[in-house]
Amino acid sequence: MNSNAPARSPDALAEQWSSVPQASWLMVWLRGIATVVELEVRKLWHDPTEVATRAVQPALWLLIFGQAFGRLRAIPTGNVPYQAFLAPGILAQSMMFISIFFGIAIIWERDLGLMQKLLALPLPRSVFILGKSLAAGIRSLTQMLVILALAAIMRIPLRWQLLPLLGVIVTIMLGAMIFASFSMILASIVKTRERFMGLGQLFTMPFFFASNALYPISIMPPWLQALAQVNPLTYVVSLLRAFLVTGTVNAPADFTILIAVAVLMVAIATRLYPTAIY
């Protein structure tokens, strides 16, 4: 953008962009999302050690927790080995932990003065929310590769066919959009890094333990079952477990719920995004 160009009023910009054909609007929107995704992914490219450090926790869950509880046989999983039952839950947990702290980037951008420049661009706010949410999904996919590789090394019996793995990728991306958008909602409200980190840690454990990641919903007390039914992580885990373990997929219902939650989270985050600078 030429810094010597004369300033234009918001009304003039709005009039200019309203005259752009609908197809061009769509291309501008898609290119904007792709640019935001590229910027976020470059951060991961410049710091690949993040993949290794984030892989430690899921590895511990599978190696220690999974083997210990598998030997105890304390959790009823039917004919499914507990490590196979656990692997999709740890995959969902890793995705959530990456995504739910993604909103801190908004606070950094505001403190560095970048958000003001982004908001000055004649682009829909949804470009930034969707771009960052998709970038969180891509980061989660790198963790998916690490966890699946570890599962293969441990000889955990999973379904390795192409279609189930494609279903896993779609589910991870959708779940990351939900939790990254939720994270950006929190960041837009609390506005400080300290409060955001506190709230992020406050929400991660309830989301994780009030889901079917570690144990079936059927063994939960009634009040926890009710929480699990409204927890989006439950539906992410159900889809991942169906694709990777059981092969019994209730995809239309589960995907419908996740898509509805994702649309709601993105809409709220888009609405609140400009308020993060105040």
| Model confidence pLDDT, tens digit, residues 133-165 | 998 999 899 889 989 998 999 899 998 999 999
Q: What is the mean pLDDT of the chain?
A: 82
pLDDT band for position 16 (50/70/90)? Answer: very low
Based on the number of CB atoms within 10 Å of its own CB, is 50 exposed (0-12), middle (13-18) or buried (19 or more)? middle
Label residue 15 by pLDDT band (50, 70, 90).
very low
Going from the C-alpha of 115 to that of each of 30, 106, 188, 273, the distances in angstroms are 20, 7, 12, 10
Amino acid at 164: P
pLDDT of the residue at 37: 84
With contact defined as beta carbons under 8 Å apart, do 61 and 90 qualify?
yes
3-class state of residue 223 by DSSP: helix
In this predicted structure, the answer to whether residue 278 has a pLDDT above a threshold of 70 is no
C-alpha to C-alpha distances, 41 to 36, 54, 102, 140, 222, nearest whole angstrom? 9, 16, 12, 11, 42
DSSP letter for 214, please. Answer: S
Q: How is residue 274 annotated by DSSP?
A: G
pLDDT above 70 as % of the chain? 85
Residue 18: pLDDT over 50: no
Report helix angle 162-190 to 104-111, nearest 10.
50
Cβ atoms < 10 Å from Cβ of 263: 13
Q: What is the pLDDT of residue 21?
A: 53
What phi and psi, each to the nearest 5 degrees, are found at residue 156? -75, 130
Report the predicted TM-score, pTM, of the whole model to 2 decimal places: 0.83
Distance separating alpha carbons of residues 105 and 88, to the nearest angstrom: 27
pLDDT category of residue 259 using cuts at 50, 70 and 90:
very high
Residue-wise pLDDT tens digits, 71-129? 777 788 778 888 999 999 999 999 999 888 888 877 877 777 776 676 666 677 788 88
H or E element, residue 62:
none
* Pairwise CA distance, residues 139 & 21, whole Å: 34
Amino acid 4: pLDDT: 47
pLDDT beyond 60 at 226: yes
Distances (CA, A) of 16 to 1, 5, 33, 38, 200: 16, 15, 21, 27, 40
Arithmetic mean of pLDDT, 182-210 = 86
The two three-digit tokens of residue 73, written as one number: 């046989």
Check whether 275 has a pLDDT greater than 70.
no
Where residue 181 falls among pLDDT bands split at 50, 70, 90? very high
Cα–Cα nearest to 94, from 37, 131, 148:
148
